[in-house]
């Protein structure tokens, strides 16, 4: 009898604690994510390798990376706390955990991008140009697609946001993915990157606020 009473009292508190932590982490992540994108240096003229050199030697490169580390760490924490939700939503949230952690790890490596950067100015590849290649073509797009999956499943089931939130998350995730995949080859970042930043900030902030309201 004591055990069943304890279970009945303590179980309702678990979703509340989960929503408090995940909601706070998403709101904080959105607060870090937006200025990280705004501080990201704009590539100038020259080849792709020369543009990387210009970005990693820009004084805003490291602050942008530090904010990115904080943002994606918050996203990983939020998705991890929500990943115990049963069913398909829990599975795509676990995808979000892994991809967020991978992007955060990539941002840590970005902090050292100017180490040995001289060959880039001569249009010669170096270790960091390969890091950029891997993160832009594999790691970062996987996070964007994870957001698309979470927004779709969470929106259709109405367990995170409704249909409007679904559209915002899908557009943000797809735009981010296109921006990452095309950055080395097409000059459309001026459009896709700000659009992705706006929609993704709005989506993560909205989900965070909804979760915080749920715990009341």
Q: Give 36-83 pLDDT, tens digit per residue.
A: 999 999 877 888 899 999 999 999 999 999 999 999 999 999 999 999
Compute the distance between CA of residue 27 and CA of residue 201 in angstroms, rounded to an integer: 9
Domain boundaries, the chain: 14-214
- In tens, the pLDDT along 150-198 reads 999 998 988 888 888 999 999 999 999 999 998 877 777 778 899 999 9
Tell me the whole-structure pTM to 2 decimals.
Answer: 0.89
């Amino acid at each position: 009898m004591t055990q069943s009473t304890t279970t009945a009292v303590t179980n309702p508190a678990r979703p509340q604690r989960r929503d408090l932590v995940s909601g706070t982490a998403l709101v904080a992540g959105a607060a870090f994510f937006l200025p990280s994108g705004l501080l990201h240096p704009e590539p100038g003229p020259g080849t792709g390798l020369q543009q990387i050199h210009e970005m990693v030697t820009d004084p805003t490169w490291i602050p942008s990376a530090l904010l990115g580390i904080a943002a994606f760490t918050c996203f990983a924490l939020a998705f991890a706390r929500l990943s115990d939700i049963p069913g398909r939503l829990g599975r795509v949230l676990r995808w979000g955990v892994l991809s967020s952690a991978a992007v955060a790890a990539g941002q840590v490596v970005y902090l050292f991008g100017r180490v040995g950067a001289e060959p880039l100015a001569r249009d010669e590849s170096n270790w960091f140009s390969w890091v950029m290649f891997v993160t832009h073509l594999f790691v970062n797009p996987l996070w964007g697609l994870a957001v698309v999956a979470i927004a779709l499943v969470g929106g259709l089931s109405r367990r995170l946001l409704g249909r409007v939130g679904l559209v915002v998350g899908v557009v943000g995730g797809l735009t981010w993915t296109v921006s990452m995949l095309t950055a080395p080859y097409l000059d459309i970042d001026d459009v896709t990157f700000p659009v992705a930043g706006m929609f993704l900030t709005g989506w993560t902030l909205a989900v965070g606020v909804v979760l915080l309201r749920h715990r009341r």
